[in-house]
Amino acid sequence: MINRVEISGLKSIDTLKLELKNLNMFLGTNSSGKSTIIQGILTISQNINQAEIKLNGGLVSLGEFREVRNFNTNAKSIDIKIVDGKSEHEIEFFEENNYSRCDIKDNNCEFKFDDGLYYLSASRIGHMDTYEKNIKEIYKFGIQGEYCFYYFLKNKDTVLDKELLRDSISETLDHNVNSWFEYIVGGKLLVNDIQRTDRLTAQFKGKSDIAVRTKNIGSGLSYLISIIIMCLSLEKGETLIIENPEIHLHPKAQSRLTEFFVFIANAGRQLIIETHSDHIFNGTRVAIANENIDSEKISINFLSLDEKYCTQNASIKIGKRGRIINPPIDLFDQFDIDLDRMLGL
C-alpha cells in the first residue's frame, strides 16, 4: 500500500506531497495535475528493478524531459518519490547535453506494476465482438482492462478472502462479481471460451434473463465490469488506480459503485481514484455519515492551479453527517450556481 507520494518539477506540479489512505480521490478542475500524479506513480512503478531508468515505458510515456518539466518554475529536474510503509523509491530526471538523464536516489521499494500495483486507464476496453486471451501473460488485467474477461474465465471458481465476500451464498469470484454487478446495474456476466482460438466472448444478462453480447448493450456495463473484477481480485495491501470510474454510468449506478469502493477499502485494499463525479464524492460522504467507513481511511484531494499556474492541493475533510468542513471554490458547486441563475439570484 502506498503511504505517501512526493512529486516536484513535473508538468504543472512545483512541489506536492500527498498522504494516501485506503480510499483516495483526486478531484479538481481540468488540467490541474490529477493525471500527472498518477503518471508519476506509474513512472516509478515501470522503472523498479530496471537497469536503465526512463521517462517512457509500457505504462506511461511522457516524452522528453524538456516537454514535461515545469516551465512556470523553470524546473531543472523532476523528482518523484513513493513511500509504501516498508520502503521507499525515489528517482530524479534531468537534462544533460540535450538528453534526458536519471539518478536513482533510493531504490528499495518492493511494489511494482502487476505485483501489488494495478492500473485501469480511462481509455479502457468497452464492448467488443470478442476479447483477447492473455496468452503471453503480459499484465494480469492489462492496462485498459483488456484481459479482465480472460482473468475472470480462468479464475471464476477462485475462493475469495472472507473480507471480500458480499454474502454467505458463495465464496467464489464468479458469485461475488455478479452479486455486485447485479446490485449496481442489474446485470449478470457470462464469459465463454472460443475453443482453439486466442479469443473469448462475453455476454450480459438483464432482467429478461436473455444473454446479450456486450456490443449490443450499454457501454457503461462493459466499463464497470472490469472495475469489479479487478477490485475483487486484489490481495490485502495491494493498490488499484482507476481513472474516471463513472464513465457511461447513471448517477444511481455511480452511487452504488461508491458503496462497492467503500467495501473494498474496508477490506484492506487501496484504491486511488481520479474522478469528476459528484455522485462518487457524495457517495463517500454518505458512507462517512452512516459510519460505513472511518474517515481516517479516506483521503480526498482537490487540485487546482494557483496564480502561477502551478498545482495546489486542498485536502478535503468530511465531518459527521457527511458535512464538508473546508469546501474550496469549484468543489462540485455548479449545480448550486446554475440553480441560483434559474432563480435569478
User: Considering only CA atoms, which of 102, 100, 113 is closest in space to residue 58?
Assistant: 113
- Characterize the bridge pairing of strands 311-316 and 131-132: unpaired
Residue-wise pLDDT tens digits, 135-179: 888 789 998 999 999 999 999 999 999 999 999 999 999 999 999
CATH assignment at residue 120: 3.40.50.300
**121 and 50: one domain?**
no
Helix locations, the chain, DSSP H? 34-47, 65-68, 148-155, 173-185, 219-232, 251-266, 278-289, 334-342
User: Measuring CA to CA, how many Å separate 162 from each of 1, 175, 266, 342?
Assistant: 20, 13, 12, 50
Residue-wise pLDDT tens digits, 240-293: 999 999 999 999 999 999 999 999 999 999 999 999 999 999 999 999 999 999
Strand order of the β-sheet with 88-96 is 15-19, 4-8, 77-83, 88-96, 99-107
The helix (run of H) or strand (run of E) holding residue 39 is helix 34-47
**Collapsed DSSP state (helix, strand, coil) of residue 232:** helix
Q: Which residues of 247-257 are buried (b: 16+ CB within 10 A; e: fewer)?
A: bebeeebbbbb
- For 219: left if phi > 0, alpha if psi spans -120 to 50, otherwise beta; the answer is alpha
Please work out, in degrees rounded to the nearest 5, the angle formed at the alpha carbon of residue 124 by the alpha carbons of 195 and 109. 100
**72 and 194: one domain?**
no
C-alpha cell at 66: 524538456
**123 and 219: one domain?**
yes
**172 and 207: one domain?**
yes
User: Which of 247, 276, 305 corresponds to the end of one domain?
Assistant: 276
Local structure of residue 136 (DSSP, 8 states): T
**158 and 92: one domain?**
no
User: Which of 276, 293, 312 corresponds to the end of one domain?
Assistant: 276
> In whole angstroms, what is the distance from residue 36 CA to residue 146 CA?
23
**294 and 327: one domain?**
yes
pTM of the model: 0.93
- pLDDT tens string for the chain (345 positions)? 999 999 999 999 999 999 999 999 999 999 999 999 999 999 988 887 665 778 888 888 898 898 999 999 999 999 999 998 778 888 999 887 665 666 666 556 556 666 789 999 998 988 899 999 998 887 899 989 999 999 999 999 999 999 999 999 999 999 999 999 999 999 999 999 999 999 999 999 988 889 999 999 888 999 999 999 999 999 999 999 999 999 999 999 999 999 999 999 999 999 999 999 999 999 999 999 999 999 999 999 999 999 999 999 999 999 989 999 999 999 988 888 888 889 887
**123 and 190: one domain?**
yes
User: Which of 243, 259, 276 corresponds to the end of one domain?
Assistant: 276
**302 and 178: one domain?**
no
Contact 185, 252 (CB under 8 A): no
> In whole angstroms, what is the distance from residue 247 CA to residue 320 CA?
29
**213 and 321: one domain?**
no
CATH assignment at residue 57: 3.40.50
Rg (CA), the chain: 21
**143 and 247: one domain?**
yes
Count of structural domains within the chain: 2
Contact 68, 78 (CB under 8 A): yes
**288 and 212: one domain?**
no
Local structure of residue 275 (DSSP, 8 states): -
> Which residues lie below 8 Å from residue 157, measured CB to CB, with a gap of 6+?
172, 173, 174
Q: Which range of residues forms the domain containing residue 261?
A: 116-276
For position 68, what pLDDT does the model report?
A: 94
> In whole angstroms, what is the distance from residue 272 CA to residue 323 CA?
22
For position 249, what pLDDT does the model report?
A: 96
Please work out, in degrees rounded to the nearest 5, the angle formed at the alpha carbon of residue 306 by the alpha carbons of 75 and 83. 60
**101 and 122: one domain?**
no
